[in-house]
Structure 1
Amino acid sequence: MLLSNSHVDEAAFHDTPGYEQEKAPEGSSISELTPLASDRPSSSRVAKTNADRITPFATRVNKFTQQYVLNADNAVGVPSKSAEITEDEIIRRVQPSQRCYLQVQRSQPEPGCRFMYDRMEDRFNYLEDRIRKSASLFSASGFCGQPADATLASEEKMFAVGTVACDGEGHLNEKSILLQGSVEHSRGQCVRLDLKDLDHFSLFPGQVVGIEGHNPSGHCFVASKLFDSIPVSVDAQLPSAKKQAIDNESNQNSDAGTLSRALSSIIAAGPYTTTDNMLFEPLQELLSYACRKPPQLLILMGPFIDSDHPDIKKGTIDQSFHDIFHFEVLRKIQDFTQYLGNTVRVILIPSVRDAHHDFVFPQPAFDLNLLEDTTHQITSLANPCLFGSNEINFGCCTVDILKQLSGQEISRKPPGGKPGDRIGRLASHILKQQSYYPLYPPAPGVPLDLSLAKEALEIPSAPDVLLLPSDLAPFVKVLSLGEGSDDDRRFICVNPGRLAKGIGGGTFVELYYNEGIDKTNASIIRI
């Protein structure tokens, strides 16, 4: 196997400005709007130059404008500014939203767990288990034959399963692709892959694939067909022991059969303060917006206390990280939930960039100890996690796997084919590989510990909504699992962007899920 080693809290929330919806560019689909190339410079050098032109957060002029819209025809009516100011409070009091229920399906490891005990044996077993389980699923699917040893010389066509590896320390390229087999079928040995006969592929290190072809010399496996999606039953139910209801209300609703697959939510990812101060103004603005348009579920993903913040790097702050989190973040959220009542619920998911939390991945949930939160309005889940709300399943991972995959993936498109949706392809890899972090070896800065709850990285069933916060351009996309196969299950992938970008504001997502994807509306909104 290849192994590698203090401010006063506001008494009330300020009013937010009215909405201004931007027009969609001509020719764009109503089911999905993606960023315009002219608005998103691809060069990091250009992006760095433009950083000097960012409008400071306090003087921004395009706040709360809709940047992109998914299913615009189903968009909830946006009131005018005057109507919002005069009628918002009345509407909120007369038409209160119904409290959503929350069910945790997977949130491991547990708070207080011991880490930094990762051994070579753990990594070996993790890779071996992934290959072995995938080989069983390929065989059971009926589309492939029984896995064979790809390292043996043979002119006969055979089918092999293994992980993609790189022959060297550099980036993957077409001349350095290896297939690493399992101990059971190939004694853990590697063989070079020749992909010249494939008209298209998309590969990255650590990816589990099925390969059909032959090995005439014993040194190079010539591929004729590639399977990059591990077969899975998307309707498979999790074992009941894995599910944990947050309160009795969820069990009562489920037993009564009154649940409807409808949910209003606001989704945001940190940082929650700009780089020129520690005032957490973007967080306060987001909570103010949520007060005026109360969601049933507010999902806040880390980092909350960003270890990359200049003041934290310089050591110029005079408070502990835990005090900053408690007074500047948690107390604001508590004030928000008390103001709106128990109809709103908040989920907090940590990040490996959180300076006040365990630097390990998978990462345990925050230990909040909110004794006064008797209605379970504020809940912290692990990173990654899988949870359900109103029969809608959410999967979330705050490690920037999209950005890391974009730097490691190599692909080939069919001759004369149109440019594909690269971001959508990267996001689809997560579910096709049934893993929140399929990349191996892990990217620098990712404290992957495979001695901790290895099953936490697995995605046993496809969620309805996949949350993947990233430094890449924000998006909301409808993607299909298993292009061209019998499995055409669709899901929504959301990257809300960062709430704060440098000294300026970023974006968040407002999502209204209504029974199915076709009736679901989502908007990317500038803070």
Structure 2
Amino acid sequence: MSSVEGEIVAKFGAKARDDSSFISTFQKMMEIFDYSVEDLFLKWESYIFANNLNDLELTSENLKSLQSYIQHSLEKKLNVGGSGSNVNSSLNVSVKKIRPKVNFSSPSMFGLPSTPMTNSIKKRKLDYSITGTPLSTASKLSSASAASSASKPNIASTPGIDSGNNGKIIETLNADIEPSKGLDLENGDKFFKIIANFDSKKFKFKTMRQKLLESADVLDDQIDSFANIIQQHYQFDSFVFGNPAIASQNEIVAIGRIVPDSPLIPQDAILNSDSLYLETSRLNGIGQRVPLNLKNIENYSFFLGQIVCLKGLNPTGESFVVKEIIQLPLLGAPVTSKKELKEFNKLQQNQSIKIIVCSGPYTSNSNLDFTYLVDLVERINNEIKPHLVIMLGPFIDITHPKIADGSIEIPNLSKQPDTLQDIMKTTVSPILKTINNKIQVLIIPSLKDVNSNHCAYPQDSLDKKLLALPKNFKCFPNPCSFQINEILIGISNNDIFKDLKDVTRGDSDKQNRFDRIANHIIEQRRYYPLFPGSMKTKKVNSIQNNINKNEYSTKEEELIEHISGADLDIPYLGLSEFSDVIPDILIIPSELRFFARVVKNVVVINPSNFMRQNSPGTYVVLSISPPDLGENGLTKIDENKTTNEDDQLYIHDVWKRARVDIFKT
């Protein structure tokens, strides 16, 4: 069996191995669409998700439908320019566009060139797979095998996911680490401290009150603050920085934001290297935008809203020719003194900490039945026994079909709730209250939660009193960062992995997409670095009545209705930035496939949805070993020269001592 065939079997399960026709069909589709195995598997999951199927069973009819689904998706992207667009439907067509000159007459940062350069032909990714290293691990579905390594995390997983795997482990990161025994519910001693690294009062702002100048100031400040960071880090002289929009024969260093060639492009438009512009701040370039010429750069990954530092020149005044991409300096890793680590070890009795993470929705799309949530709570109390439960919304999804059309009927309730807020109090809260009161629970909202009064990101926490939750519950905002003893955890409940669509070339194009996006988050120092944020809409029909003197007629119009999305509150985006250090663990739920990876020594986790459409989803259980202060334990900071041994600082190295198990709901 070839390596490609083995990877197909690992992704799609044993049934693909038993029937050779499946493998040949997959290989033919990979050749037609120029897909890697991982590309094809992501499309397969997308097809299942879009068609509300309950499992991943392989059949010939399903594979034919998958091919039609992929073809339809590509045709839709090719026609993204609308009916007036002159785009050829062939995948091999290259579209040549004439580059417009930049309109420098507008000094405003919102002054834009008039002609968009957005191309609708997408270069297919050839290979997502990369070699696992301590800085980046590939999370592949393969047979369970764990080769122990002190410096490299390993992943073991079970091929094929079906409804028979409920409550079973389907993938593991660092399988060589023993799982935690969990909380001793009989003794229930205080096992850890939770320290919030945010000011909850700052999240009490009123949404939908954005002012244009305030938004412009925040966007400018993002660029200017990075300019100061880069200058200090690389010790650049101030004269090396310049305005990339001004014609010059000298090389300069330019700092700005990646933007599209036109603000009028559709949300789902596919960008390319010819459609990327650099926007400057008012301080370093009077807000002008200039096209980027990337012909000299072999490896890059750019997305809208990305702050970049580029070295190059603008010889003609028409475009900035990039010669080098200067890497943004990274934040440091969190450290703790030896004295504090000893105290934390004593507090947790030198035992592992166990954490469970799950993300809504908690019901299927067909009803508002919380049976799976009840089963999870029973499992938490009787089997898992975690020290901490992290639950992310939506708990009651405002986009749920039953909520949207008003046909709300809660099973097994004598009296149906009167308001949307009552649904949470009468259905979800009673279930959550049955969690053992010795287990600490953190509640983090979603922009889709009906109980949230905050409809924009960053988002204030849910009202604990209004939801009638007991003392062992804490409500945190979205996003937030907090410590569990020495471990720093960052959480953002906004789907950046699905929303961010980057333009790649070279090695970046071959890198796993999840690793690439996680890299961007860490480098940009923001939980949601995309700008503008994604917008999700749906088409609705509206009947317009026209009444004249002697006639009555109706006219049906198609309207676009906003249903959900990132919904960024720009003046308060500073609340979505990292603090002074990179988190040890980064949790960002996404509708896409679950994963647990190590990126730049950060454990990045996507628990995915607890319920996926009309089928069970996944949740995550972490087991984090206590810090080892021996010679082969945590990394010591050599630069910290101190006479007192207790003041010696250590990097947490959570990526070496954290086991992540992904369970089927």
Per the TM alignment, residue 418 of structure 1 is displaced from its structure 2 partner at its CA by 8.4
Q: Judging changes above 3 Å, is the alpha-carbon distance between structure 1 residues 52 and 229 closer, same or farther for their aligned structure 2 residues? A: same
2:284 is matched with 185
Alignment match of 1:410 (pick from 496, 503, 509): 503
Per the TM alignment, residue 94 of structure 1 is displaced from its structure 2 partner at its CA by 6.0
2:179 is matched with 76
Alignment match of 2:166 (pick from 41, 63, 78): 63
Q: Look up the SS of the partner of 2:216 in the other structure.
A: helix
Q: How does 1:110-259 map to 2 (within 5 A)?
A: 113-142=205-234, 146=238, 147-168=241-262, 169-170=264-265, 171=269, 172-235=271-334, 258=346
Q: How does 1:436-455 map to 2 (within 5 A)?
A: 436-444=527-535, 445-451=565-571, 453-455=572-574
- Partners of 2:534 and 2:598 lie apart in 1 by 27
> CA offsets per residue over residues 427-462 of structure 1, 9 Å max, x none?
2211210111211112113221123x4321111221
User: Any unmatched runs of 5+ in structure 2?
Assistant: 1-8, 12-35, 57-161, 409-415, 536-564, 628-653
1:466 is matched with 586
> CA offsets per residue over residues 15-35 of structure 1, 9 Å max, x none?
xxxxxxxxx959xxxxxxxx9
Q: Judging changes above 3 Å, is the alpha-carbon distance between structure 1 residues 257 and 409 closer, same or farther for their aligned structure 2 residues? A: same
1:503 is matched with 614
Q: Look up the SS of the partner of 1:279 in the other structure.
A: coil
Q: Judging changes above 3 Å, is the alpha-carbon distance between structure 1 residues 120 and 43 closer, same or farther for their aligned structure 2 residues? A: farther
User: Any unmatched runs of 5+ in structure 1?
Assistant: 1-23, 27-34, 79-87, 238-251, 481-489
1:393 is matched with 488
- Partners of 1:280 and 1:68 lie apart in 2 by 25
Note if 1:281 corresponds to 2:371.
Answer: yes
2:66 is matched with none
Q: Judging changes above 3 Å, is the alpha-carbon distance between structure 1 residues 254 and 125 closer, same or farther for their aligned structure 2 residues? A: farther
Query: Percent identity of the aligned residues?
Result: 26
Per the TM alignment, residue 356 of structure 1 is displaced from its structure 2 partner at its CA by 2.2
Note if 1:423 corresponds to 2:529.
Answer: no
- Partners of 2:261 and 2:290 lie apart in 1 by 10
> CA offsets per residue over residues 142-199 of structure 1, 9 Å max, x none?
2655432212222222111000011123343211111111111111111111111111
Instruction: In structure 2, give the amino acid aligned to 1:263.
Output: I
2:91 is matched with none
Q: Look up the SS of the partner of 1:191 in the other structure.
A: strand
Q: Judging changes above 3 Å, is the alpha-carbon distance between structure 1 residues 129 and 502 closer, same or farther for their aligned structure 2 residues? A: same
2:658 is matched with 520
Per the TM alignment, residue 38 of structure 1 is displaced from its structure 2 partner at its CA by 9.1
Give the superposed CA RMSD: 3.1
Question: How many residues are matched?
Answer: 449
Per the TM alignment, residue 255 of structure 1 is displaced from its structure 2 partner at its CA by 7.9
Instruction: In structure 2, give the amino acid aligned to 1:271.
Output: P
1:457 is matched with 576
> CA offsets per residue over residues 32-71 of structure 1, 9 Å max, x none?
xxx984994415773356533449xxx9422111111001
- Partners of 1:387 and 1:39 lie apart in 2 by 37
1:6 is matched with none
2:384 is matched with 293
Q: Look up the SS of the partner of 1:455 in the other structure.
A: helix
Instruction: In structure 2, give the amino acid aligned to 1:464.
Output: D
- Partners of 1:424 and 1:522 lie apart in 2 by 17
Q: Judging changes above 3 Å, is the alpha-carbon distance between structure 1 residues 219 and 508 closer, same or farther for their aligned structure 2 residues? A: same
Note if 1:361 corresponds to 2:472.
Answer: no
Q: Look up the SS of the partner of 2:497 in the other structure.
A: helix
Question: Does the 8 A contact of 1:107 with 1:382 survive in 2?
Answer: no
- Partners of 1:100 and 1:264 lie apart in 2 by 11
Q: Judging changes above 3 Å, is the alpha-carbon distance between structure 1 residues 45 and 38 closer, same or farther for their aligned structure 2 residues? A: closer
2:430 is matched with 331
TM-score, normalised to structure 2, is 0.63
Q: Judging changes above 3 Å, is the alpha-carbon distance between structure 1 residues 108 and 436 closer, same or farther for their aligned structure 2 residues? A: farther
Mean CA deviation greater in 63-72 or 364-373:
364-373
Mean CA deviation greater in 272-281 or 466-475:
272-281
Question: Does the 8 A contact of 1:134 with 1:230 survive in 2?
Answer: no
The structure having more radius of gyration, on CA atoms, is 2
Per the TM alignment, residue 217 of structure 1 is displaced from its structure 2 partner at its CA by 1.2
Note if 1:475 corresponds to 2:570.
Answer: no
Q: Judging changes above 3 Å, is the alpha-carbon distance between structure 1 residues 193 and 383 closer, same or farther for their aligned structure 2 residues? A: same
Question: Does the 8 A contact of 1:161 with 1:210 survive in 2?
Answer: yes
- Partners of 1:310 and 1:70 lie apart in 2 by 35
Q: Look up the SS of the partner of 1:472 in the other structure.
A: coil
Q: Look up the SS of the partner of 2:570 in the other structure.
A: coil
Higher relative contact order (CA 8 A, sep 6+): 1
Question: Does the 8 A contact of 1:302 with 1:350 survive in 2?
Answer: yes
